[in-house]
Each structure stands twice: as C-alpha cells, then as structure tokens.
Amino acid sequence: MPAVPLITNDAVVLGLLAATLGVVFWTSGSAHPFWRAFYRYVPALLLCYFIPSLYNTFGLIDGGQSRLYFVASRYLLPATLVLLTLAIDIPSILRLGPKAITLFLTGTVSVILGGPIALLVVGSVSPGTIGPETWRGFTAVAGSWIGGGANQAAMKDVFEIPADLFGAMVAVDVLMANVWMAVLLYLASRAPELDRRRGADTTALTALQEKVATFERENARNPALGDLMKIVGLGFGLTGLSHLLGNPLAAWIEATAPGLAIYSLTSDFFWLVVLATTFGLLASFTPARRLEGAGASKVGSVMLYVLVATIGMQMDIRAVFSSPGLFAVGGVWMAFHAACMLIVLRLLRAPLFYLGVGSMANIGGAASAPVVAGAFHPALAPVGVLLAVLGYALGTYGGWLSGQLMRLVSQ
C-alpha cells in the first residue's frame, strides 16, 4: 500500500510550489557570487520543474492525486496561450520556413521506428527482460509520444492492453518524457551559444524575436491597476469562452461523428488549446495587442511557470527502478529519438529551437510544447501549440504503425 504523502491539501501544495518558484527567482536574481555561478550552469526554469519532482519522489506531496495540474492545464494554460499570442506576428511565424516542419516530422518518424528498435536492442542485450506481449503496452507510449492522451487511450483499445500493463506504460511515458523535457529546457538556456558554435541560420528566428521585443519596447509603460485587470480579464475571459464553445463542440462531434476521435476531435482539451490559441491570435489584430506594453506576456509567463511546476510534481524519479526492463526500452527509444533529431538539426543547420519545439510537440503535446517553446522566447509559444495540434492528427496513425512494427519484432 503506497505511503500517504506528508501534504495532501492542494492549497498547501500550491503554496509550497509558489514559494519554491519565488525562492528560485529570488536566488537567480541575486548578486551573490555563489548564485551567479550556480545559475550560469543551471537554468532557473529547470529548477522550477525539477524541485517539485523531488517533492513528489520523496513523498512530501503526491502529484498523481493532486488536482493542481488539471487546474493549471485547463485554466492557466489557455490563459497563458492567449496572453503570449497577443504580440505575435503571424507572417513572421510563417517565414520561419520548412525546417520546423521537417524536424517535427523527424520526431514523428523517430518515435514510430524507435519503439521496435528499442525492443530489439534491449531484447538482444538482456533476453527475457521483455515479455512476448509487452509490445502491446508500448503502443500506448507511441500514441502518446506522437499525439497525446487521446491517442494513447485509442491505442489501449486498439491493441487490447491489460490495465496493469497500461499503468506501467503511463509511468514509462511520464518519466521519459519529463526527463527529456528537462534536457530541452537546459538546452534552451544555452541556445544562442550553441547555435553560434554550429553556425546555425537563425535569421528568421532572430527577426521574429526582435520584432516582438521592439513592439514591447515601443509600447512599454508602467502598468496601472486598470491595465492588469484588462490583461486578467482578457486571458481568463477568452479561456472561459474556449471552454464554453469547446466542451459542447467536442461532445457534438463525439455524438455525430465518433470516428473523428482518431484525430482527437472529440477531446475537450484539444478544442480548448485550439480555441484559446485562435482567440489569442485574433486578439493580436485588435487594439488589445497594446496590452503587451503593459506586461501581458509577463503575466502569461507567471502562469506558465506555475504550469511547469505542476508538470514537474507528477514525476517520480524512483519509478525507473520498479520495472527496469520497461524503462530500459523507454530510455533506448528516447535516445534514438534524440539522436535522429540532432542529426537532422545538424544537416539542416537549423536553430536549436526547431529541435526543442519539434520534439516536444511530439513527445509532450499541447501542454508541454509551448513551455519549451516559451523557454526560448515567449513569442514562440504559439509555434509549439500549432505543431502539437498537428501531432494530435498523426498520433493514432503513427501509434498504430509503430505497434505493428513492434508486434513483428516481438514474434
């Protein structure tokens, strides 16, 4: 029977997470030589993610039982997307070019092929570690890593995954995806330096970032109470509208065309992120865009960091020791994905951002892709959402294909 966590009250857990974020930012802004040296190598965003995972790992809190991630992903995430897209420039995003799509598709193909390759590698190194029917469980990981939760659930039914095996695969999915996300957040903190070393062409990316920065600088002002209330009203107002329209829309599609579930079109969450991003983009063509000068993206970034902390609190580092064979397959699979992404990144001489957002749009989906994209620059968060939505459409097909390949190598 699992131990009862020390803190079970979500209000207390939220206070702990908020205090943790406050301490991280207080120390990261400190002039003390120790903290300046420490944060030269350890990005603050990574700590905002990793420290809550330690709380969960050592039983201080139980991230799986807490409702905070649900609240953050359903309420704060859409408001964040609205506020981070206010100052976005759509034509500039389109001018980022085909490299972002190429790396995204590389991520999809590497996940499809990585599962059977990982099963072969682990099976040859340690025969008997993986059971003959274990491949069925890994189809859930493939569905999740290409699309998202809806695609993962589809794989459970398609391949008839037993409940206990499915639970173990969720643990593999969460741990490996979160470890990789931590790596990407670290790389994001060093992206300019690494891009310079590789001679990457960052022209379009830099132009977009500078355009957003120029707009913010030209419209910057000390926000009054009225400005902040408008920002909060816009963010949560459009979040509410997204829920109002998205929930019945998903239910109507499920009732009239249930076959569209393979595209995640029957998912409330799918429509929530799509509508919130759409409303934010539409608002960027209105006078509401001037709220960026009062700090709209900064308010959105505060919500984003809370989301990061709630994602981190779901990770249990000890899980890797409970089913080492399964996690070994997951580790080899993720390593193959990372290697493919790095090779294509080098061949294209693309900015590191394309690797980060292309990978996380597959591995993490709509909740995590904007986090990683925003770690490079808040203006880039919508790119993560757009690619993640594309991943939803490919998730069921890619998961099914990967499952068939895993079945073949397991016979």
Q: 138-159: b or e for each residue (b if 16 or more CB lie within 10 Å)?
A: bbbbbbbbbbbbbbbbbbbebb
**What is the pTM for the complete model shown?**
0.68
One DSSP character per residue, 346-364 reads HHHT--HHHHHHHHHHHHT
Q: Provide CB contacts within 8 A for 232, sequence distance 6+.
A: 299
Q: Is the residue at 53 inside a domain?
A: no
- For residue 230, name the pLDDT band (cuts at 50, 70, 90): very high
| Cα–Cα distance, 366 to 260 (Å, whole number) | 19
What's the domain range around 367? Answer: 67-410
User: What are the structure tokens assigned to 185, written together?
Assistant: 């957040």
- Name the token pair of 133: 């029917």
Round to whole Å and give the CA distance between 146 and 395.
5
| Residues above pLDDT 90, as percent of the chain | 25
* Tally of CA atoms within 13 A in the half-sphere of 236 that contains its CB: 12
Give CA–CA dist 382/171, Å, rounded. Answer: 28
Residue corresponding to tokens 């409970």? 322
Is residue 334 within 8 A of residue 180, CB to CB? The reply is yes
Specify the pLDDT at position 399.
Answer: 84
pLDDT-derived band of residue 149, with 50, 70 and 90 as boundaries?
low
Question: With 70 as the cut, is the pLDDT of residue 273 above it?
Answer: yes
Give yes or no for residue 305 having a pLDDT over 90.
no
Distance in angstroms (rounded) separating the CA atoms of residues 106 and 200 = 18
The conformation of residue 73, written as its DSSP 8-state character, comes to: I
For residue 166, the SS3 value is: helix
Q: How far apart are CA 218 and CA 210, in angstroms?
A: 12
Q: Which of 187-201, 243-257, 361-375 bottoms out in mean pLDDT, i.e. has the lowest?
A: 361-375
Q: Who wins on pLDDT, 27 or 361?
A: 27
- Residue 36 counted as domain residue: no
Residue 382 counted as domain residue? yes
- Average pLDDT of the segment spanning 347-373: 83
Of 3-7, 124-128, 313-317, the range with the highest mean pLDDT is 3-7
Helix or strand run (H / E) with residue 104: helix 99-125
pLDDT digits (tens, 9 = 90+) for 208-226: 777 766 766 777 778 889 9
Is 33 part of any domain?
no
In a domain, 321, yes or no: yes
Residue 1 has a pLDDT of 41
**Mean pLDDT of the 88-117 span:** 82
Q: In terms of C-beta density within 10 A (0-12 exposed, 13-18 middle, 19 or more buried), how is residue 361 classed? A: buried
CA 38 → CA 35, 45, 53, 186, 330, distances in Å? 5, 13, 20, 13, 31
Grade residue 55 by pLDDT with cuts at 50, 70 and 90.
very high
Segment 26-47 mean pLDDT = 85
* Distance (Å, whole) CA 388 – CA 180: 16
Reported as a pLDDT band with limits 50, 70 and 90, residue 376 is confident
Residue 273 located in a structural domain: yes
Question: Could you tell me which of 109, 152, 41 has the C-alpha nearest to residue 339?
Answer: 109
Instruction: Give the separation between CA 403 and CA 358, rounded to whole angstroms.
Output: 22
Is residue 44 included in any domain, yes or no? no
Residue 76 has pLDDT above 80, yes or no: yes
150-185 pLDDT, tens digit per residue, is: 567 667 766 777 766 776 787 788 788 888 988 888
Q: Which residues contact 35 (CB under 8 A, 6 or more apart)?
A: 27, 28
Mean of pLDDT values over 73-92: 79
Q: How far apart are CA 242 and CA 238, in angstroms?
A: 6
Check residue 94 and give its pLDDT: 64
Q: How confident is the model at residue 17 (pLDDT cuts 50, 70, 90)?
A: very high
Residue predicted with more confidence, 262 or 291: 291
- Write down the mean pLDDT value for the chain: 83
Greater confidence (84 vs 279) lies with 279
Q: What are phi and psi of 315, to 5 degrees?
A: -90, 130
Residue 405 lies in a domain: yes
Q: What is the pLDDT of residue 2?
A: 55
**How many domains does the chain contain in total?**
1
